[in-house]
Amino acid sequence: MQLRLTVVREAEDRVVICVDGRLAAKNVAELTESCRERKMGLALELGNLLSVDDTGIATLRGLAADGIELLNPSPYVAMLVGGRAGQDQRPSGRPPRGGPGEAGKR
């Protein structure tokens, strides 16, 4: 499955776009255009989003910054959109401080 967008109107002033499948560079224009057409009271339902590449993450960040609500993202997508990706990475070959080999050293 590539990307499927389904527009659901919850109320007169609220529209939800269900984003299903894979959000990638080749199809972010379709999502941004759908959002641009329905700016007022818009939310994106991300519960069926299977994967997202770097361009898709950047697009979701931009849409969220524009006030579009992101509903039910996976924990991983929520972390990436929140901008916290890579915070806890350590340089390769180095154990974390206090790890093996450092016990008893002072």
pLDDT tens per residue across span 24-80: 999 999 999 999 988 679 999 999 999 999 999 999 999 999 999 999 999 999 999
The pTM for the full model equals 0.74
CA angle 80, 84, 86 (to 5 degrees): 90
Position 12 confidence tier, pLDDT thresholds 50, 70, 90: confident
Number of domains forming the structure of the chain: 1
Question: Tell me, what CATH number does 7's domain have?
Answer: 3.30.750.24
Q: Is residue 31 part of a domain?
A: yes
Q: Is residue 57 part of a domain?
A: yes
Residue ranges making up the domain that contains 10: 3-81
Q: If we measure between CA atoms, which residue out of 65, 95, 100 comes closest to residue 83?
A: 65
Q: Is residue 104 part of a domain?
A: no
Q: Is residue 46 part of a domain?
A: yes
Q: Is residue 98 part of a domain?
A: no
